[in-house]
Each structure stands twice: as C-alpha cells, then as structure tokens.
Structure 1
C-alpha cells in the first residue's frame, strides 16, 4: 500500500486515485464486498487532502463500482464488474445519438419489423407479392445466361456498358434520348437519391417536394443537412420557387407518374409547368419514375423527355416491376453529374452486382421484361378492382378514394381524423399492418396508403374488414 499519486503530468490527483482503486478491483485484490479504508486513512496514505479522496470515491460510487452503507463505510459494490465492463466499452448510445443519419420514425421501424412476419397481413407494403414475381422465368433465364469472367468480378463505376446501352434503347419509348455515358447503374432508386444528396448538394440546400411525399418516410436528404420544403403546384409556382430558393442550392423532387403514396398522375401540362418553373430559377428536377410501367392506361410523356438543357435527373428501376432483390436501377443525367455520382458509388459499394446487371440485361434484350410487365399490369388491375369492391362494401360510408390508375396503391381518406399511432397499433392487434398517412405528411390524420400488390385476396378481404371495424370504433371514440 505504498503507492502515492504524483503531482507531475497531465492527470489530476483525483483521476490517479480513481485509476488506482479501479485497477485493484480489476486484479481481484479488492473483491465484491471488500470494505475500503476510511477516507482519513486513504488521505494519509496518498499524501493528499481528504477532500481529494472524497471526490474520487464519489466518482466511483456514481459509476457503480463502489457503494456506501450509512454508519458502516464504503465497500466494493456487488455489481462492480458490470460497471467496470461498461466503463471499458465505448458508449455506443452516444455514438448512435450523435451520428449523421437520422433514425426512422418509430412507426416505420415497426412496419419494417412486422413486414418480416408471415402471420401479419401487409396492407400497405410497397412490394410485389411473391406470386407476382417471375420466379420460374427467372430460374430459366439463369440457365440461358452465358457469364463472362468479368460478370463474377466488380462492376465498372457506371455499370455494365451493355446494360446502359440497353437502358438507353428502352427509355427511348419514354421519349428520353440518352447515351451510355449519361447512365449510371445504381442499387435501386433510394441509392440514387443518396448519391445525389452527398454528391451534388451542399449542406443547407433546399429540396422542394409536394406536401405528401415519399421522402418524408425516408431520410436521404434530411440526414445530410438538407432543408425539405413543401410546395404547391399552383399558378404561382415559379414565383414561389424563386422566392424560397433565393441564392441557395435547390432541387425539386417529383414522382409525377403514379405518385408514392397518393397514386396520382400529373398531366402533360402539369409536368411542363413544373419543368418551366424550375428552369426559370435553374433548379434541377429529380424525376422518380419507378412506377410508370405499371400504368393501366396510356401514359403522358416523362418530364425528362421535355428536357433540352440537362436539367432533369431521371431515376428508373426494376425493383417495383421485376424483382426488388436484384437491386438494380438507373440514373440518367448530364455526363459530368453521372461521372461524379459513379465515383461516389465506387467509394461506397464498389458497384452494383454484376450478376444482377447481367440478368436485367438479358430480360431487356430478349423482350422478357416487356412481356412480364404486360402480364403484371393485368394482374394488378384485377387486384385493384377487387379491393375497390371491398372498399365499396365496407368503407363507402366513412371513407373516400380515387380509382387507381396503376401501380400498387389506393390513397384512402377517412372522413374523420382517426389515423394516428393508436389506430396503427390497434390494427396490429388484429395482425393487420398499414402505412398511415402521417409517415408521408406529419399532419395527416385521415389517410392510409392501401396496397393491393402484396396480400392475397383472402388477406385483403380480412384486412379491409378489420380496417372498417377499427375505423368505426375510432370514429365513435372521437365523437
């Protein structure tokens, strides 16, 4: 017991005493229940003031290594080992709380959790049902593929040149003229948004969007310091954009064809209005066009097809049409932008799966993709008709909706403001999982995004019946 702290060096006397006592407990010299010498004895041994010893002991008690018994003294705590382990480990919660990326809303975390359970009816999910995925055809196409050695290696920064050429030919049907150097293969549309956020925009940039927006349910821009601003597409759009943008960087995010979550489709005039308004203030447009192939009737042109100045960044994907598991999408834009984003993509994931790119290329080149889309549209239209009948039978008196024009969703609006967290949780008790409107617009307490793309017909019928039951109960409580 001849150790004493030194007054030389950077560490205080108190810190040295705390370390010395901790080391004795770690070595097993002082086991749980050991009574420490009195503060006076320790002060004499260490050659310090009693107040210094007292502060050191209080610090050790605060973290759970020591404990005191009134009238008896200070002891090594029974839980001292757990406290020591906690002290040695990094405080991961602090790291998590101060990290750059924002956590999902709790409701979305619950949705992600319950979507993995087979006993829940997924009434809001943005995914095709397993029986709508071309599993048999996909297996057959794998046998037809002849892979070169490169297909088993890393992809090039912008992705397979053959696939980019095939995409250029494919998007010509949308009126989009592009060269392979204008295309970057991405791991789905969300990665395209993430690349744009970190690769093109400075912190504090503005992302204009409609009030009800998919972007409110994910955080690719919010997590890197962008300001989200809801904007009305009215006659004053050009003036509103110019006024709010001022001298800051800005982009306009749009899902003009089968909007997620509302399912709405802009007219050609509405698309041109947004394009011209953004052009006046030199605001780039991000056109998220991943649903357009699922329109039940003829489509209007894409915004990108109107683009004569490289102002529109166009996003496409096979996740909503062929397979989300392939993780293949594309971003079309000016060469300088594409090269920049491809460079960042290589820094983050070293390229999308080369094998997945070969599969998508095969489906585009052989016509399998378009034949699959045609059959998929027919099946989705039948499902939409079936769900509309269910809604008419069960919810006509308490809710309204527009006839779906394609895609996955019906934007169901209850007459009363009943869609809150309690409503969501109540449906979970019936094993029904919904996407409430407030995850797309925090102030929305009337809508849910109702998907007809995933659940079976039997599940859809049960889900809508439970939805009706919970909604009517919620209306009564509100009254």
Structure 2
C-alpha cells in the first residue's frame, strides 16, 4: 500500500482516509464483502493515529458504506458501491427545483410531448400544418440568395441591417413609421417577451393582460418574479389598474388583432380608447402583432401606427405565416430600448440565424411573402368555414362561439363547466389533443381553443365528432 494521507492539505486526515477507502470500493479494488485490515494495521500503514482511522471508518459506517460483524471486523457493505455512485453524482433534482425558471404546467408539457405523435389529431395546435408551409419555394429561393462570408457570420447586435431596412418598408405598408435603428431582430415573438422581461422590468413589476391570455401558458415574465394581472383591456378601468399596480413598475401586454386564444379583433375606437388610457397613466404597451397578416379582412391600424409618444413596443414575426422553424421576429421600439434589448440578446445567443434572416429578407423584398400569405389566408378561410359548419351541425345546443376573423383559432365556450384535466385526458386517450381554457386562465372550465390550421379536413371532422361525444357524455353524467 503506497498511498498515504497528505498532511499539507487543508482536508482532515480522517476525511482523506474515508475518501481513499471509498475510492477502493468504487474502483472495485475492495468488492462487496471485503474485510478491511485491522484498524491498528491501517493506522501503522497510513502513518496516522488509530483514532484517525477509527474516525474515518465511523463516518463510512454512518453512511452505510461499511458495516461491522461479530468479532468487530469491518466489511464493505452489500449496497456500498451503489450508494457511493449516487454520492458522486450531483443532486440534479435539487438544482432543478431551486432554479429560477418555472416549469410549464403539466398539461402544457403533455401537449408539447404529444404533438410529436403523428397519430394524434391536433385539434388546437398553434402552428401551421406542414402542408401549408412553402417548403419547396423556400428551398428554391436559397439558390437566389447572394451569400458571402460576412452575411452568414454573426450579425450585428440588432440583427441584419439588410433585413431591418426591408422591414422598414414592410412596416410602412402597415402604417408604422420607423427606422432600421429602431428595430431589433429576435428569434421569434417569445424571445422578444423574454428580452423585455430581462432588460426592462424589475422583480415585482406588474404585467397587465387580458383575462384569457397566451402569457399564462408560458413563463417569460413569471420566472423572473414579475406578476401577471388579468383585466378587461377593452374596458380597462384606470382606477382599478392604478390601485393594483401601486408604485411598482408596470406594462400592458396586448394582442389587438386576432387575440390568442380568443381570436378577437379590436375596433379602431377600442384601440384608440385603450391607447389613450395607457398614455394617461404613462403605462407602456407591448403590442403582439404576430397574427395580423392572417386577418381575412384588413384589420384596423395597429396601436404602433397611432403611437406618437414611443409608448408601444411592437412585436412581429414570420413564425405564424412563413415558417416557425426560421425563428425570426422583430421588436420596434425607441432607440434606448432597442440598444438595451440588443445587448441582452447578444449575451444570450449572439444573434438570430444569419441564414434565416437572409431568407426572410429575400421573401419580404421580392413579393414572395405577400403572394404566399394571400394564398395561405385563402386556405385558412376555407378551413375555418369547414370547422364553423361542423360546429353548427353538432355543437349549437351545448356551446357558443364566434366565426373566425382570421388566424388559426375558434374560441369554443361550452354551456357547462366540463373542460377539466380529466376531460383533457379522456380526449387524449382517443388520440384527440386540445388546448383547454384553463391553460390560459387557471380557473376556466368552459373553453377550448380550437385550431383549423393543422389537422387535415378528415382529421378535423373526426376530432370534432369525438369532442362532441365526450362533451355530451360529461354533460349528461354531471348535469
């Protein structure tokens, strides 16, 4: 035995001996049942007092790694190797539980998992069917991109200048006047919200939102100690918001065009009233406008287009129109805000995909995007009408809804509170996946966000039939 404890180390001699014995067991030098040398012999061999060896052995006995038998001999315990292996691994669950970012609700985790199952009828999913994505056209356009080394390297903190210049014209067509310096390219709308949470809001800040909100199904704000407060944005009461925000930092998250999940579109009067209320309170506004290009009829002007005071942070994206896989969106905001968010983005991912930015720039500047969106809206409207007709046939006696005005969704409200976790799981057992209302408002038990953007016609009709049968059973059983 050549090893001896090192007296120059800050670690105690007994601790070094305990670690050395553990290492002999881990490396199988001392298998299960091995009888250790007598303590006196170990002490002499290791050049320490017997009491030091005794202390090390007592520590390992307490941990269950060593045990004594009749005659006071010490042996390697039966389960010592497994115990030591576990001790050598970090307690990852402790790390996970103590981390800052909150886990998603179990229902949402299950939705995200089951969406990968091709046998599932995705009756509520928030993305386009692969058949509606212009895959062949995007592939063909790659041949037209004049790429060089600089263009496919890291982009500037705010994103590709070429794309930002193209977006200036694109936004001008929406009535939004801006400059490339006031645009930051992000990896989709969700990252825009994360950057705002990290870069602009303090712990304890309040984000006002609609009662039913997409924000409740993700955690871009909650994970950083920011509070969500549901109010009626259309009839927002200034006194109520003033009371609830107190002296804390605050901002209002809004989706005026094709709201997620309800699909609502605010009128021009509602937009102006909302903007005026927030302006009078000096409350900044986040305008999430990612669905606006999919309105079946021209929507009223965006909040950003009537913003004269830099009050509105405007978010756009091609994830709902061109391709979610490109991961390209943008924020339009006052210069100091853009500089701040761009700095944080560079710290997080060093910029969105250069290839994706080149593709989006090409599609927006050549008219390909507008042509694609026109065709896409035509197909989405056909699907929406099909879903609406089926709802009329089967659900008119047990639910209410409004015909879709664009985007992906119909917000179905049952006449009885049947949309529970059990109801969600019963549908899932029959291979029908829904987005229940309670992921958008925790106490809701009556709504489902239906989507006509993903399932095929036959899948949609089959899924709605199964949904109807389950709903009828629940109503008859409980009401």
> If the length of structure 2 is used for normalisation, what is the TM-score?
0.91
- 8 Å CA contact 1:157–1:351 kept in 2: the answer is yes
C-alpha distance 140-41 of structure 1, shift in aligned 2 (>3 A): closer
Q: Where do 1:317-466 residues align within 5 Å?
A: 317-466=317-466
- 1:11 Cα offset (Å): 5.6
Is the CA contact 1:419–1:448 (under 8 Å) kept in the aligned structure 2?
yes
Alpha-carbon separation, structure 2, partners of 1:338 and 1:109:
32
Between 1:2-11 and 1:468-477, the stretch displaced more is 2-11
1:214-229 residue pairs with structure 2 within 5 A?
214-229=214-229
1:304 maps to: 304
Find the counterpart in structure 1 of residue 156 from structure 2: 156
Match of 2:295 in 1: 295
Question: Does the 8 Å CA contact 1:399/1:414 hold for their aligned counterparts?
Answer: yes
Deviation at 1:263, TM superposition (A): 0.6
1:53-68 matches, cutoff 5 A? 56-61=59-64, 65-66=65-66
1:111-153 CA distance string (max 9 Å, x none): 1111111111111111011111112222222222222332221
Tell me by how many angstroms 1:23 deviates.
Answer: 3.4
Q: C-alpha separation between the residues in 1 aligned to 2:163 and 2:52? A: 76
Give the equivalent residue in structure 2 for 1:102. 102
1:35 CA drift (Å): 4.9
- Range with greater deviation from structure 2 (43-52 or 94-103): 43-52
1:216-261 CA deviation, whole Å, 9 max, x = no partner? Answer: 1111111111111112236562222222222211111011111111
**Distance across 1 between alignment mates of 2:37 and 2:145:** 78
Change (3 A) 1:446 1:55: farther
Task: Compare 219-228 and 66-75 and name the one that shifted more.
Answer: 66-75
Matched, 1:197 2:202: no
Can you list the C-alpha shifts for 1:376-421, whole angstroms capped at 9, x where unaligned?
A: 1111111001011111222222221111111000111111111111
2:131 is equivalent to residue 131 of structure 1:
yes
Higher mean alpha-carbon deviation, 136-145 vs 429-438, is at: 136-145
Distance 2:464 2:362 in 1: 39
Shift of 1:102: 1.0
Given that residues 195 and 345 in structure 2 are in contact (C-alpha distance below 8 angstroms), is that contact kept between their aligned partners in structure 1?
Answer: yes
Residue 286 of structure 1, CA deviation? 0.5
- Equivalent position SS for 1:152: coil
Counterpart in the other structure of 2:314: 314
1:73-100 per-residue CA deviation (whole Å, 9 max, x = no partner) reads: 8742333222222211222211111111
The answer on whether the counterparts of 2:114 and 2:120 sit within 8 Å (CA) in structure 1 is yes
CA distance in 2, matches of 1:346, 1:49: 54
Number of residue pairs matched by the alignment: 476
Please name the residue that 1:242 is paired with: 242
Q: Structure 1 stretches of 5 or more lacking a match?
A: none
What aligned pairs does 1:106-121 form with structure 2 within 5 A after superposition? 106-121=106-121
Q: Name the CA distance, whole Å, in 2 between partners of 1:162 and 1:8.
A: 63
- The 8 Å contact of residues 427 and 470 in structure 2, kept in 1 or not, is answered as yes
User: Deviations 1:342-389 (Å, cap 9, x if unpaired)?
Assistant: 111111111111121111111111111111111111111110010111
Q: Aligned in 2, Cα 1:184/1:25: closer, same or farther, shift over 3 Å? A: same
**Displacement, 1:280?**
2.0
SS in 1 for 2:173: helix
Q: Which stretch has the larger CA shift, 6-15 or 24-33?
A: 6-15
CA distance in 2, matches of 1:18, 1:407: 65
Which aligned pairs between 1:70-109 and structure 2 lie closer than 5 A?
75-109=75-109
Secondary structure at 1:216 match in 2: helix
* Cα displacement string for residues 262-308 of structure 1 (whole angstroms, at most 9, x for unaligned residues): 11111112222221222122211000000011111221111111111
Alignment partner of 2:351: what SS?
A: coil
Distance 1:40 1:394 in 2: 86
Classify 1:429/1:339 alpha carbon distance in 2 versus 1 (closer, same or farther; 3 Å): same
Contact 2:40 2:50 in 1 (8 A): no
CA distance in 2, matches of 1:304, 1:283: 14
Say what the alpha-carbon RMSD is for the aligned residues: 2.8
Cα distance, 1:396–1:76 mapped onto 2, change above 3 Å: farther
Structure-1 separation of matches of 2:350 and 2:256: 31
Q: 1:18–1:60: 8 Å Cα contact kept in structure 2?
A: no
Q: 1:16 to 1:49 in 2, by over 3 A?
A: closer
Q: Distance in 1 between matches of 2:228 and 2:416?
A: 28
Residues 235 and 92 of structure 1, relative CA distance in 2, 3 Å threshold: closer
Q: Distance between the aligned counterparts of 2:370 and 2:307, measured in 1?
A: 25
Give secondary structure in 2 for the equivalent of 1:448.
strand
Aligned to 1:151, the other structure's residue is in SS state coil
